[in-house]
Structure 1
Amino acid sequence: MSDKPVVGFIGVGLMGHGMAKNIRTGGYELWYLDQRPMESLLKLGAHEAANAKDMAQRCDIIHICLQNSGQVESVVLGDTGILAGAREGLIIIDTSTSDPASTLKLVQEVEGKGVRLIDASLGRTPKEAEEGTLDAMVAGDDDVFERVKPVIECWAGRIIRVGAVGNGHKMKLLMNFIGMSYGALYAEAVVLSAKIGISPQTLREVIAPSRMGSGFFDTFMKYVVERDRDAHKFAISFAAKDLRYVNNMAADAKMMSIMASAAVQYYAHAESTGHGSDFVPMLSDLVGALNGVNMEDEVRKGALSAT
């Protein structure tokens, strides 16, 4: 028998699929749990768990990669959750973008059952998840980290230790605060540009190679100018959720958060009007509509003026 730990993975979506695949190809016995059968993992020899309790009875390490803290709490604490089947010594790695306050409460719950939890928030995109080159911001006790490090190395190209448990989720929220604020800023800037007679194409041509350019600007403008819906696949609903968590985190720290409070508003409006499943660059169309600008028409006009 292999002396490697048995690994579970809950949530094999855009990010989780590649991570789980790379754990399995790294030689670990893998059990997964998702809303649907995952033929690509089954073909690699992975097993589908009946529920999180079933997985906990079989596994030594369980990854969680879900959409929000409510889902994480449910899969850990529910009647058929991880704790219902956990053996002493089980390690949970939460890679979700979670509310740190929820994470710290969960730590207390699981440690009372002899289970350890660390947070390992993710940087980069589903492409790097498939390639096994994600960034991992890992928080938690050193002894637990050393036990799970070989498994994390299956899916992470860069591992950054960020301190005590909960700090991984805090760091991820800081990253997404910056990123989603840029998304709101870019959306407003491209609409203002159109209103004053400067095409989206010209805006991209000027900004992209300058010091204000970035990878995020490139993918955002790839949608705006080229209408590539898959240029940046991060849902508006996720952005809205993350910014709500950022504002909660600032409130817990008793800090004034004018920028975070402002950034969430465009995303909240988009979500409340049925556009939560749209991707972040599509925010530009919604901001345009609020201001009487059809961004697709502006791109057409920009293309005509360039010929």
Structure 2
Amino acid sequence: MKDRVGIVGVGLMGHGIARNVVAHGYTLTALEHPGNQPLEELTQQGAKTTPSLKALAEASDIVILCVTGSPEVEAVLTQGGGVLEGLRAGSVVIDCSTSVPASTARMAEAVTAVGSSFIDAPMTRTAQHAREGRLNLLVGGDAEVLAGVRPVLECFAESIVHAGPVGAGHALKLLHNFVSLGAAAVIAEAAACAARVAIDPSLFVEVLSGGGGGGAALDRMRPYIIDRDPTGLQFYMSNALKDLRYYVEMASDQRAFHEIADSVASTLRLGVQEAGPRALVPELASLLTERVEPI
């Protein structure tokens, strides 16, 4: 029989994950939460819902967490009536959120203490890839535990990389997001300066594409730079800022250099302050174009 799956966090990414798990014939229970995307598509496919974290864990062999970050993961697991209270021996918690590795280690210990297993499996790629079942997963945890849950992960991922022990997946995700979001912020700042010196946006993108500025970050920023279409990178600036803060925290814990990350975080913080938490990362280009720096 297939494992029973529970999911906490049916947002932009979690909805695609849940949709594919159900489509592959798994029994799914989703947590009812105000931050969810509409659940009708899932319930029409046979998914169940519950407002109780404990009940969700009791009904599941595998619990997938797809929430904002470390504070939310800790709350979901440890609050009264939370997932830890409902886990049964032999269950597995899969944390697909983006979290600080130090917190991940603590939560893994808490899950292990009740007789269950924990792996971190943060995602790269976009909500569209989640819907298509084509995410990339960076997994930290025991290889045997990963092997046991791999069939579920393969429902929504086309690439699964075992990064190392618990926490390694989250560490690798933070490294990835620093580079990818840092590149997007650099491109946004350059696009703003290009506008000031009257360089045509299409020419700006064309020249970058043909040289050292080409790549995934430019491809995702291109629609906004040329046509003010932000859908190429549907990632909230507030989430980007959170990820950069987590990266700086991880680097600081390891006494690693992080001056560039500090600057990227500062730029994203400005974007959130001026455009709000729901502004998308590509919108940084126009915000910086409009901003006049003091002499």
Shift of 1:229: 2.8
Amino acid at match of 2:54: K
Amino acid at match of 2:129: E
Partner SS for 1:74: helix
Shift of 1:14: 1.0
Q: Structure 1: how far apart are the matches of 2:134 and 2:239?
A: 22
Could you state the TM-score of these two structures normalised by the residue count of structure 2?
Answer: 0.95
Q: How do 1:18-97 residues align onto structure 2 when only pairs under 5 Å count?
A: 18-36=16-34, 38-97=39-98
Q: Structure 2: how far apart are the matches of 1:154 and 1:88?
A: 24
Percent pairwise identity: 37
Q: Does 1:4 align with 2:2?
A: yes
Aligned match of 1:129: 130
Q: Structure 2: how far apart are the matches of 1:83 and 1:51?
A: 12
Q: Structure 2: how far apart are the matches of 1:197 and 1:154?
A: 47
Amino acid at match of 1:12: V
Contact 2:33 2:51 in 1 (8 A): no
Contact 2:67 2:73 in 1 (8 A): yes
Query: Structure 1: 5+ residue runs without aligned partners?
Result: 293-307
Q: Structure 2: how far apart are the matches of 1:93 and 1:80?
A: 19
Q: How do 1:98-117 residues align onto structure 2 when only pairs under 5 Å count?
A: 98-117=99-118
Q: How do 1:91-240 residues align onto structure 2 when only pairs under 5 Å count?
A: 91-240=92-241
Amino acid at match of 2:134: T
1:208-233 CA-partner distances (Å, limit 9, x unpaired): 23342112202212112111132210
Q: Does 1:260 align with 2:261?
A: yes
Amino acid at match of 1:4: K
Cα RMSD, aligned residues only? 1.3
Q: Structure 2: how far apart are the matches of 1:78 and 1:205?
A: 51
Could you state the TM-score of these two structures normalised by the residue count of structure 1?
Answer: 0.91
Which is greater in Rg? Answer: 1
Q: Structure 2: how far apart are the matches of 1:251 and 1:245?
A: 10
Q: Structure 2: how far apart are the matches of 1:214 and 1:222?
A: 14
Amino acid at match of 2:17: M
Q: Structure 2: how far apart are the matches of 1:270 and 1:277?
A: 10
Amino acid at match of 1:286: L
Shift of 1:274: 4.5
Q: Structure 2: how far apart are the matches of 1:71 and 1:147?
A: 26
* Structure 1 stretch displaced more, 264-273 or 148-157: 264-273
Amino acid at match of 1:249: M
1:118-154 CA-partner distances (Å, limit 9, x unpaired): 0011111111111111111111001211110111111
Query: Structure 2: 5+ residue runs without aligned partners?
Result: none
Amino acid at match of 1:238: N
Aligned residues: 290
